[in-house]
A = this chain, B = another copy of it.
């Protein structure tokens, strides 16, 4: 690729925005040239706007540090950047209210700027795909429908699902593809604090403590999989009916990496534990076949040790883009139990968004 595609980040100074900036450093296709955030940061250099608030061990490129942050509410700034060849599309990591996010993302799309979003605002918008690149790449077929009905020319909106479900969606998909769909799932998660952004969860809640509740998370965890496992029929999404999921979401004193403890009941046939491990080991999708830059080589890594996966040791597997699973065993009530881990701000947020953008580019939507 002769020249990199210039991209923008909405919500560039927040936790997920920082991850985008950090992960896109040296990306082979994309280059951050535009950054927008709240009015408070607008007008400052990116380095200045994040001074004392940068949360990651890896820092940003010097070029990015000197980008002047724009006001994300002012779509005309992105349009101007687009015209100067500095913003071909945007990653949205907006942290404002749901209604404001929904409206603002639509304004960007209407103005001709494609929006690849982490926000939850458009996940239930009927003509917006919720993409996990390995699972439902064909859901991009809705984008022409979206553009047409909205009267949008170049812009469109594609989103990714909630970070809490990332660790078990690919394992479930692998099993379903192999002829073993899940019927019911009881899931308990132990989620990292970075999922709540910065400042996010107070330290008084996370020292010698666990908080057994995350607002809105359980509903998302139970519903979003049904859209992702659904299909497009006559230009309309039909949600899957299964698996039925019961989710209990907890916040634990971990910086990054969400764990899910899953009890699974299969629909019909029940594979052996060995079959399941083979299915997971062999699992690949379009990102792997197309060699997309952010695709993990092996999307599902199984560890045989009793005491894995662990957030600190496993979250960074394959550039933090792989799911790591362990403890596959029979369930005393359903069919099998296992424990799965995914890096919530990489695979579950910015990294997942980048992989979606790569998929969309690969399929010609960002051309």
Please give the residue numbers on chain A whose beta carbons come within 8 Å of chain B beta carbons, in ascending order: 15, 51-52, 54-58, 184-186, 188, 190, 193-194, 198-213, 215, 222, 244-248, 250, 252-255, 259, 261, 263, 305-316, 326-327, 331-334, 337, 339
Contact = CB atoms under 8 A, between A and B. Distances in A.
B54 A313 contact: yes
Contacts of A244: 332-333
A222 B202 CA distance: 29
Given A190-B252, A204-B255, A206-B203, A212 B326 contact: yes
B57 A207 contact: no
A255 to B, nearest CB: 5
A244 B198 CA distance: 38
A210 B307 contact: no
Contact of A207 (B15, B184, B211, B253): B253
Given A193-B207, A208-B253, A248-B261, 4 more contacts: A186-B331, A186-B333, A188-B261, A201-B203
Given A57-B316, A307-B52, A248 B339 contact: yes
A184 B246 CA distance: 15
B203 A205 contact: yes
Contacts of A253: 203, 207-208, 252-253
Contacts of A188: 188, 248, 261
B245 A332 contact: yes
Contact of A310 (B210, B326, B331, B332): B210
A263 B262 CA distance: 12
B312 A57 contact: yes
A273 to B, nearest CB: 15
Contacts of A57: 312-316
Contact of A204 (B193, B261, B307): B193
